[in-house]
Structure 1
Amino acid sequence: MLSALEVFTTVIVGLMVGVEFSVAFVMNRIFNALPEDSDQLARAHGGRMLGALMPFWYIGSLVLGALWVIAGWDRPGSGLVVIAAVLVVVSVIMSLLLLVPINNQGKTWTPENRPADWKEQMNRWDRYHYVRVAAFAVLVTALV
């Protein structure tokens, strides 16, 4: 049973990390290269789409990590799983305090109503996101 939980958790968290990595290092670079207002429109659409999915994915990953910690407490390597679960908690807190507020604004912007500093706000979101992706890389390493 524990082996199935370990595999399931690693797959779910690994896919989430892959999506977040793709946003940071692939999608945003593609968006930045789009002409005219397409960058802002793509980011707004991505913010709406992933913003609706990520809370469930993050909380689900946290629950799976906690279950793994509880079920495998007496096993070797359980300390790494605890570190991984703590990193998910830190990432959730960081997301709620830093990234979600920017995303909630950005997903409503259009070329007509966006603020003059929208690119600076998106760059700030990107910097916070890079930190989150780095934490996720450590998380996946700990889980494996």
Structure 2
Amino acid sequence: MSEFDAEQKTIGGIPVDPRVQWAIDIMDTQDYDYQPWYEKIIMPGIFVSLVPLTVTISNFVRKVPTRTNMPLALASTPLSLGLCYKLQAFKNNIDAENRAHAKHYILTHPERFPEPKNPFFKDMILPYFPRRIQ
């Protein structure tokens, strides 16, 4: 018997009950990154453009030339990009902790997670009753 059998499999030192093996299989991401596209592209773009846009609006409100203080704003864009990546890493860390807490709860309370039944497609279709107004 290998160490990866369902009877011997452990996660964090807690043995996996065969009753909740289905839930652990669903939660296993197999190291796939589920970060949406807008967090990879849009959020860094917003962070990078936030400082120059703020400086432009501030210059417009103060009625000074629009590009005044712009070199300082452009020099701070790498800092804002770094801040964006740090915040994304922080958020990903929190998400990983939440998944770990959920797995731990499932492993320690297997009686609360019964395996769902697989219904047949014909059982999910409700009968059609026409409503006709006469």
- TM-score (ref. length: structure 1): 0.29
Q: Which has the larger radius of gyration?
A: 2
TM-score by length of 2: 0.31
Please identify which structure carries the higher helix content.
1
Pick 1 or 2: higher relative contact order, CA cutoff 8 A, min separation 6.
1
